[in-house]
Amino acid sequence: MKALMKTRPGPGLEMVEVPTPEPGPGEVLIRVLRTGICGTDLHIDASDAWAERAVRAPLVVGHEFAGTVAATGPGVRGLAEGELVSGEGHLVCGTCRNCRAGRRHLCIRTIGLGVATDGAFAEYVVLPESNVWAHRHPVDPDVAAVFDPFGNAVHTALAFPVLNEDVLITGAGPIGMMAVAIARHAGARNIVVTDVSDDRLDLARKLGATVTLNVTRATITEAQDGLGMAEGFDVGLEMSGRADALRDMIAHMGPGGRIAALGLPTGDVPVDMATVVTRMLTLRGIYGREIFETWYAMSVLLQNGLDIAPVITHRFGHAQHEQAFATARSGRCGKVVIDWTTPETA
């Protein structure tokens, strides 16, 4: 089968032919239809300092995908050939305290699909049945392919109630854009989004943002004044991983405000603890998705009319992977999807 692989240390990925995997006991072989490019994949492609530490070549990369069940191993009971599925890319041990308590997203021994084990940028991928999510209701394969980041957005945006609240979102990457649509769908009053990319801010506005701010030209205080906000934001969603964005968010939260932080910083982040304490702010870290409660929420949101398809701005065939990665890296896009059923898209 064709697979996009990190064949050796250093920058770059190669499309190679590798044997098609076979499902073992409790495992599912999935024919991949679509894959989404994640920031993690860009780090691996660039072979930055984190990737050099985390990834051991040779490795098939990729963890955002949708496909159909091609075959099942012994003991698989809940899936049938031909079903459309996505996959949870966090592979957990099943035996630690959190796994045994049903909090699998907090497994202390989590390993990542496409990071520590062969992933989904290939014509076929194998996953444990316990990591496979079957789409029991109609969903476009492109959307099904981005359920992983969609889950990050749902987990973050709904960490605190947003109904009737004023919400600040720092970072308008694809997950931040999805969070805009989710917060709007969930009844937020005002949604202010900050970024440095006008292209992404334009898309955030189309997805339901009340105000979008390019922070190189405008301030959050100006947005608050324009909206007549006197006491600060009720809920903050930190999606950028930037220290200055988190500091700015804390400074603009109202008393009792709640912050959900998904963005991963690359270094230490000084926090104004005096403001956190005196305003009684809540700061909650968010990692991945609750397995599988978040997946259930995603499916219900789509059934109830939430539309995240506009976040997907570019589609490429698998032979165009270099162009797909360059587009994703440019920042002038939303989500980039690769089609594994065709070499090139029109």
User: Which tokens in the block code for residue 318?
Assistant: 């698998």
Question: Taking 90 as the threshold, does the pLDDT of residue 266 lie above it?
Answer: no
**Segment 192-234, tens digit of pLDDT:** 999 999 999 999 999 999 999 999 999 999 999 999 998 999 9
Tell me, what CATH number does 212's domain have? 3.40.50.720
Tell me, yes or no, whether 296 lies in a domain: no
Structural domain including 219 reads 156-285
Tell me, yes or no, whether 88 lies in a domain: yes
Tell me, yes or no, whether 118 lies in a domain: yes
Q: Which of 40, 210, 212, 294 is catalytic?
A: 40
Active site includes 40? yes
| Binding-site entries | 38, 63-64, 93, 96, 99, 107, 175, 195, 200, 262-264, 286-287
Please tell me whether residues 8 and 142 are part of one structural domain: yes
Handedness of CA 194, 202, 241, 87 (dihedral sign): positive
Please tell me whether residues 8 and 37 are part of one structural domain: yes
| Binding-site entries for Zn(2+) | 38, 63-64, 93, 96, 99, 107
Tell me, yes or no, whether 220 lies in a domain: yes
Helix (H, G, I), strand (E, B) or coil at 208: coil
> Facing residues of 72 across strands?
28
User: Which tokens in the block code for residue 215?
Assistant: 């922070």
Which segments of 129-176 are extended strands (E)? Answer: 132-134, 166-170
Please tell me whether residues 20 and 131 are part of one structural domain: yes
Residue 94's region, left for phi above 0, alpha for psi from -120 to 50, else beta, is: left
Active site includes 135? no
Tell me, yes or no, whether 22 lies in a domain: yes
Please tell me whether residues 176 and 120 are part of one structural domain: no
Please tell me whether residues 121 and 160 are part of one structural domain: no
Per-residue pLDDT at 331: 85
User: Which tokens in the block code for residue 50?
Assistant: 């984190």
Residues 6+ positions from 49 with CB-CB distance below 8 Å: none
**Segment 168-186, tens digit of pLDDT:** 999 999 999 999 999 999 9
Residues 6+ positions from 260 with CB-CB distance below 8 Å: 156, 157, 159, 160, 235, 236, 237, 238, 284, 286
Residue type, position 101, single letter: A
Tell me, yes or no, whether 299 lies in a domain: no
**Segment 50-59, tens digit of pLDDT:** 999 999 999 9
Helix (H, G, I), strand (E, B) or coil at 14: strand
Please tell me whether residues 137 and 194 are part of one structural domain: no
Tell me, what CATH number does 315's domain have? 3.90.180.10
Top-confidence residue, 266 or 45:
45
Per-residue pLDDT at 1: 97
Within 10 Å of residue 71's Cβ, how many Cβ atoms? 16
Q: Which of 20, 43, 313, 345 is catalytic?
A: 43
User: Which tokens in the block code for residue 276?
Assistant: 């956190």
SS (H, E, C) 27-83: EEEEEEEEEECCHHHHHHHHCCHHHHHHCCCCEECCCEEEEEEEEECCCCCCCCCCC
Please tell me whether residues 114 and 205 are part of one structural domain: no
Span 102-116, average pLDDT:
96
Please tell me whether residues 200 and 278 are part of one structural domain: yes
Please tell me whether residues 142 and 258 are part of one structural domain: no
Provide the number of structural domains found in the chain.
2
Tell me, yes or no, whether 280 lies in a domain: yes
> Facing residues of 112 across strands?
90
Please tell me whether residues 11 and 133 are part of one structural domain: yes
Please tell me whether residues 11 and 117 are part of one structural domain: yes
Please tell me whether residues 59 and 166 are part of one structural domain: no
The CA angle 263-184-90, to the nearest 5 degrees, is: 40
CA distance 125 to 87: 10
| Binding-site entries for NAD(+) | 175, 195, 200, 262-264, 286-287
Per-residue pLDDT at 267: 85
User: Which tokens in the block code for residue 195?
Assistant: 């970024």
